[in-house]
Amino acid sequence: MEEEPPEGGTRRTGWGRTFLKLLALLVFVVVVAGTVYLYLFPEIRTQVLTWAAPWLRGVPVLENLVAPQMKNGGTVPAPVRIKDIRQRSVANLLVGNLRVIEGVAVNQAPYPLARIRVRLVIADAYDVVLGEKIVYCGNLLTDAELGALAEAEIQRELSIQQGSDVSNERIAPNGEIPFMIVFNQEQAGAIKTTVIPGGADRLP
């Protein structure tokens, strides 16, 4: 005769399976919620990827999430503070009104930095990212240049890594360097603009 398993053992096995299912569901919900949160808040996403970059190296799929500047050994998560931000509009003969954001980046690291970058995040009323723009500090244009140059030429001038006067080659600790961001303010749905550090290269 075959012996039937004790009733108590079956009940314990059933509870164990239920617990594992609930745990898997909880992990799934946390992962999905975290992914949505990081997508909606680019500043937090950048900080998390910067923190996780050393552990993501070598993982085939996850490594692609890390920005190229985080993979480069000489590039560091920018210990940079943004201050004195101001905005204005400039009429351009070719594209209409341009929005100009100016400010100052401060090196808060105990070592010199080079090629400091600033990132602009454009979002709608629901914090959905509509676009991003990265410029190098040390590139400034006059109102006459902003009014006459094509938008592609403006972006090219703001993308000089060393800065227009080579001021972005070495910024000492506590040193400051100005920056300028220019974009078309007619972008549909654009409500919120956020300026954050976009990276820097550490110098010996």
- Tell me: pLDDT of 51 over 60: no
| pLDDT at residue 47, rounded to an integer | 52
Q: For position 52, what pLDDT does the model report?
A: 54
Largest CA distance in the chain: 99
pLDDT at 195 over 70: yes
> Of 179, 188, 182, nearest to 152 (Cα)?
182
Residue 35 pLDDT level (bands cut at 50, 70, 90): low
**Range 74-202 classified under CATH 2.60.40:** yes
With the C-alpha atoms ordered 39, 123, 186, 87, is the resulting torsion angle positive or negative?
negative
Name the least confident of 7-16, 95-104, 160-169, 173-182.
7-16
Strand intervals (E) in 93-153: 96-107, 113-123, 129-136
Domain boundaries, the chain: 7-68, 74-202
Beta bridge partners of 107: 80
Among candidates 197, 203, 200, 165, which has minimal Cα distance to 181?
A: 197
Provide the mean pLDDT of the chain: 78
Rounded Cα–Cα distance for residues 80 and 85 (Å): 14
Q: 185 burial class (0-12, 13-18, 19+ CB within 10 angstroms)?
A: middle
Which of 100, 78, 89 lies closest to 158 in space, CA to CA?
100
Least confident of 53-57, 66-70, 126-130, 174-178: 66-70
